[in-house]
Amino acid sequence: MAYLFLLFGPNICVIICSILSKTMGCENLVKEYYLKKAKCMLRYNDFPGDEPAILFLHGIGCPGSFDYPQVAAQEELRNHRCILIDLLGAGYSEIMGSS
């Protein structure tokens, strides 16, 4: 999905995440948490599941919201709760002090 982001921008990635969330039977995939000390919003995708949670942390140039939804949608992981974090300043999370 990083390639789609580079070619078409973040809107196409939101559409793909929305399609994946409906395929997996969940709504309101993107959640957010306000960090008071950093004065910004941290955003993450939360795929529900009954098996142990898997936390996806991205590296440089690869926000969790763009590359990991298709990983979380794989058959082997569908029963796990998958949390895909966009670290501060990446993906849909804000830069520190931006709010």
- Residue 47: other Cβ atoms inside 10 A: 24
What pLDDT was estimated at residue 53? 92
The span from the CA of 35 to the CA of 73, in Å, is 28
Average pLDDT on 8-26 reads 50
Average pLDDT on 84-96 reads 87
Average pLDDT on 36-45 reads 91
Instruction: Tell me the C-alpha to C-alpha distance, in Å, between residue 98 and each of 36, 38, 84, 87.
Output: 11, 9, 22, 14
Query: Tokens for 3?
Result: 């390639």
pTM for this structure?
0.68
The span from the CA of 36 to the CA of 45, in Å, is 20
